Amino acid sequence: MRKQLFAALTAAVLFCGAWTVPAAAKTKYRKGDVNRDGDVAVDDAQLALKEYVYWLAGKEHVLDEEQRQLADIDGDGSFSHDGEPEVTAADAAYILAFYTNWLADPAQRSTDIEEWIRARFRGYAAR
């Protein structure tokens, strides 16, 4: 009896363990949220600038591909095609300007960074 119960429990555990649970949908981060913590803040600007400085120095990326896309605020990234950095000092400045404005007006928190910048900077042309 004991062996049968153990065998049944083992089979149940193995059967349940064989089920696959779909992975949670990938989180979509806001443009500018380089560290993917849910906020666009000064540390995101620092990471963007660090990526640019490392590129200038000929070093490896410090950001993964998704982070570089999040940091490339002006959408001019073409790192592999013409040698220009995907993330520039301008991207870091945009992130910092957005964050500074949010500090002054917390209602801006829900605003999209590209929309906010487009409304304030001439010549901004994100793709």
Question: What is residue 35's DSSP assignment?
Answer: T
This prediction has a pTM of 0.70
The domains located in the chain, with CATH, are: 25-120 (1.10.1330.10)
Sequential DSSP letters for 64-103 = -HHHHHHH-TTS---HHHHS--SS-HHHHHHHHHHHHHHH
Q: What is the pLDDT of residue 71?
A: 94
Q: How many residues does the chain have?
A: 127
Total Cβ atoms within 10 A of residue 17? 8
Encode the chain (127 residues) as per-residue pLDDT tens digits.
Answer: 656 644 554 444 444 444 444 444 567 899 999 999 999 999 999 999 999 999 889 898 899 999 999 999 988 765 544 455 689 999 999 999 999 988 998 877 677 888 888 888 766 555 4
- The helix/strand/coil state of 63 is coil
Structure tokens at 34: 């380089």
Euclidean distance between CA atoms 41 and 44, whole angstroms: 5
Buried b (16+ CB within 10 A) or exposed e, 97-122: bbbebbeeeeeeeebebbebbeeeee
